[in-house]
Structure 1
Amino acid sequence: MTKTPDILCIGSVLWDVIGRAASHMRVGSDVPGRITRLPGGVAMNIAMTLRRFGMTPGLLTTIGRDAEGEELTAEATRMGMICDHIYRSDDLPTDVYMAVEGANGLIAAIADAHSLEAAGDKILRPLANGALGSVHTPFAGPVALDGNLTEDLLQEIAQSPLFARADLRVAPASPGKAERLLALVGHPSATFYVNLEEAGLLCQTRFETSDIAAAALIKRGVHRVLVTDGGKSASEGTAGDIITQTPPAVMVTRVTGAGDTFMAAHIASEAQGDDRPTALTRALNAAATYVSGETPL
């Protein structure tokens, strides 16, 4: 019998191919390091952290029926995620993300999420056909959305009765896709998780601090927002009520997936009943632990 998910993670599930070097890098650098391949993608990164916090996420995405897709689906199932509702395509390859990181942070990255974009609203069918919900009995619970979805699909979600009872948690896949989230500005239950750069792109300006950015996004019409600024600060709030904290100082050994870890830890903390300050603290601690190279718990 299929389990009922505690949360739906909708978006990119793919292979992360990450090259990491211990030295500072620039354009043209050729240095020794390590190359790893791990399950990734924004939706997958969020789901993996949710599992570590004891939640059972269901994945809504597309994965090819190629060898890479079979291996990825098997790994997600092994980790305890509900994969029964994934759209498996016969003609679309499994997506992949490739990044290079140095001691000075992310050097460059390419996200090949073309299959997810091509699948479009096919990944949402379980929310309409009764498997997870329908127009008359929409899914009631938290839903993590990522910015790898197309702008058209995000606009459809913003207006769809299938999400009328959902607690939407939204994150851009990267600064380059941040403006796609504008489709969900004004949604009555959407919480945005963005970094300082992404907040600036959404407001077409630059911000000096996370609290100023959070206030500007709320004024623009975002229902609730969390803004991070690396190791400097993070702010969470709604209209007229913003709290700000500083994350613990750690040695940074990796950056890819840190924002997804922060978001998942915050969602899990609130699901467990933590108040706002406690949930923000736990999320910052989880992200700090992650970037230090440890596994957040």
Structure 2
Amino acid sequence: MVKSPRILAVGGAHIDRRGQVSGPYVPAASNPGTMREDVGGGVFNALRSTVRRGVSASLLSVRGGDAAADTVSRAIAEAGIADLSAVFLDRTTPSYTALIDREGELLVGFADMALYELAFPKQIRRSRVREEIAAADAVLCDANLPSAALERLVSLAAGKPVFAIAISPAKIVRLKPVLGDLALAFMNRREAVALAGLDDAASRQDIVDGLRSTGLVSAVVTAGGGPVLGFDRDGTFAVIPPPPRKVADVTGAGDALAGATVAALLRGMALRAALREGVAAATLAVENANAVPDFTAAAFTEALALVPDAQEMA
């Protein structure tokens, strides 16, 4: 029997609230709509997709002593992920609230995540973390961690691939001290522009050149429904996402892409082939109202068949 790959994830696992406007969005006014609450977080969302693609996973996050913490704990257990998280009884569990329009596009996001800033640097120093890294084949993290915690984590993982998720334009800069040590970083175009110090008019080649100049050896840059850009030591390429059959919610697509891509890489695929699997997972996420789609093997195979091969760029 072939042993499944094993990954340790460190980062966000918190309450995600998504309010969707039911009609045309009117700024500075009361808008009718619906509000739903799930457990999300960049690393946790991605990790659920990684697990569904056959990888064994552990998660280190932090949460408070409130009712929201129990909700997060149950979600981690239900996902089949080993929970290494620390609980701070006198603190509030982090949360993220997103307001989206009726087409599913983000209007504004609000992050209440002070506990991450406070707790992660010390949590990375736990002996259990060193043990988990030693037992894992790779590490997945996100920029919810402060830079000091990211540096410590990458140092402990020396010799093993570390994958990182950007989270936001404001937080991606936290990755700067460790960019040269990452196996792969996932980000959207706005985050890439912020990291590379470019303006919104930057071309795809400008973005690749800018990201390489930061020390990154490999990255994936998403652009909504546009081409997914990738580069590594072998060159630059793009994968064209198929048009979604319906659009339910775009907020979980990038995390689903990251998780499925990482799972494929850990199964030995090259980045170009692995990213096709990531795009298939992102397509299913866009078509599903849940933050992480509960795709079956048949649904994934069907979605993957719609994703074209990567196109090399000059």
What's the TM-score bracket when you normalise by the shorter of the two chains?
Answer: 0.7 to 0.9
Shift of 1:249: 1.2
Residues 72 and 220 of structure 1, relative CA distance in 2, 3 Å threshold = closer
Residues 128 and 70 of structure 1, relative CA distance in 2, 3 Å threshold = closer
Shift of 1:292: 2.0
- CA–CA distance in 2 between the matches of 1:108 and 1:264? 24
Which secondary structure does the structure 1 equivalent of 2:30 belong to? coil
- CA–CA distance in 1 between the matches of 2:264 and 2:193? 27
- CA–CA distance in 1 between the matches of 2:132 and 2:87? 17
Question: 2:308 is matched with which residue?
Answer: none
Which secondary structure does the structure 2 equivalent of 1:247 belong to? coil
Alignment of 1:272-283 (within 5 A): 272-283=267-278
Report the residue type matching 1:235 in the other structure.
Answer: L
Question: 2:223 is matched with which residue?
Answer: 229
Question: 1:195 is matched with which residue?
Answer: 188
Shift of 1:238: 1.6
Question: In the alignment, does 2:44 pair up with 1:49?
Answer: no
The answer to whether the 8 Å contact 1:252/1:292 transfers is: yes
Residues 24 and 152 of structure 1, relative CA distance in 2, 3 Å threshold = farther
Which secondary structure does the structure 2 equivalent of 1:265 belong to? helix
- CA–CA distance in 1 between the matches of 2:140 and 2:132? 15
Residues 202 and 26 of structure 1, relative CA distance in 2, 3 Å threshold = farther
Per-residue CA distance 1:81-124 (angstroms, 9 max, x = gap): 101x2112222221111111113510111111111111032322
- CA–CA distance in 2 between the matches of 1:211 and 1:270? 25
- CA–CA distance in 1 between the matches of 2:8 and 2:277? 21
The answer to whether the 8 Å contact 1:51/1:57 transfers is: yes
Residues 18 and 103 of structure 1, relative CA distance in 2, 3 Å threshold = same
Which secondary structure does the structure 2 equivalent of 1:232 belong to? coil
Which secondary structure does the structure 2 equivalent of 1:59 belong to? strand
The answer to whether the 8 Å contact 1:63/1:88 transfers is: yes
Shift of 1:217: 0.9
Indicate which of 170, 174, 177 corresponds to 2:171. 177
- CA–CA distance in 2 between the matches of 1:129 and 1:38? 27
Which secondary structure does the structure 1 equivalent of 2:107 belong to? strand
- CA–CA distance in 2 between the matches of 1:194 and 1:129? 26
The answer to whether the 8 Å contact 2:193/2:202 transfers is: no
Question: In the alignment, does 2:257 pair up with 1:262?
Answer: yes
Residues 130 and 213 of structure 1, relative CA distance in 2, 3 Å threshold = closer
Report the residue type matching 2:60 in the other structure.
Answer: L
Q: Return the TM-score normalized by structure 2.
A: 0.83
- CA–CA distance in 1 between the matches of 2:221 and 2:46? 17
The answer to whether the 8 Å contact 1:15/1:96 transfers is: yes
Indicate which of 135, 149, 152 corresponds to 1:153. 149
Q: Size of the alignment, in residue pairs?
A: 286
- CA–CA distance in 1 between the matches of 2:233 and 2:128? 33
Shift of 1:130: 5.5
Per-residue CA distance 1:44-90 (angstroms, 9 max, x = gap): 1112212222222211111223222123212211221101x211222
Question: 1:245 is matched with which residue?
Answer: 239
Question: 2:76 is matched with which residue?
Answer: 76
The answer to whether the 8 Å contact 2:39/2:71 transfers is: no
Q: Which runs of 5+ in 1 are unaligned?
A: none
The answer to whether the 8 Å contact 2:221/2:230 transfers is: yes
Which secondary structure does the structure 1 equivalent of 2:47 belong to? helix
Task: Name the Cα RMSD after superposition.
Answer: 2.3
Residues 56 and 278 of structure 1, relative CA distance in 2, 3 Å threshold = same
Question: Which moves more between the two structures, 21-30 or 96-105?
Answer: 21-30
Question: In the alignment, does 2:70 pair up with 1:90?
Answer: no
Q: Which runs of 5+ in 2 are unaligned?
A: 301-314
Residues 201 and 50 of structure 1, relative CA distance in 2, 3 Å threshold = same
Per-residue CA distance 1:196-215 (angstroms, 9 max, x = gap): 11111111113544454233
Which secondary structure does the structure 1 equivalent of 2:43 belong to? helix
Residues 208 and 46 of structure 1, relative CA distance in 2, 3 Å threshold = same
Question: Which moves more between the two structures, 143-152 or 208-217?
Answer: 208-217
- CA–CA distance in 2 between the matches of 1:124 and 1:290? 31
Shift of 1:5: 7.9
Question: 1:28 is matched with which residue?
Answer: 28
- CA–CA distance in 2 between the matches of 1:175 and 1:58? 27
Which secondary structure does the structure 2 equivalent of 1:80 belong to? coil
Per-residue CA distance 1:169-225 (angstroms, 9 max, x = gap): 1111112212112122222x4311111111111111135444542333123310211
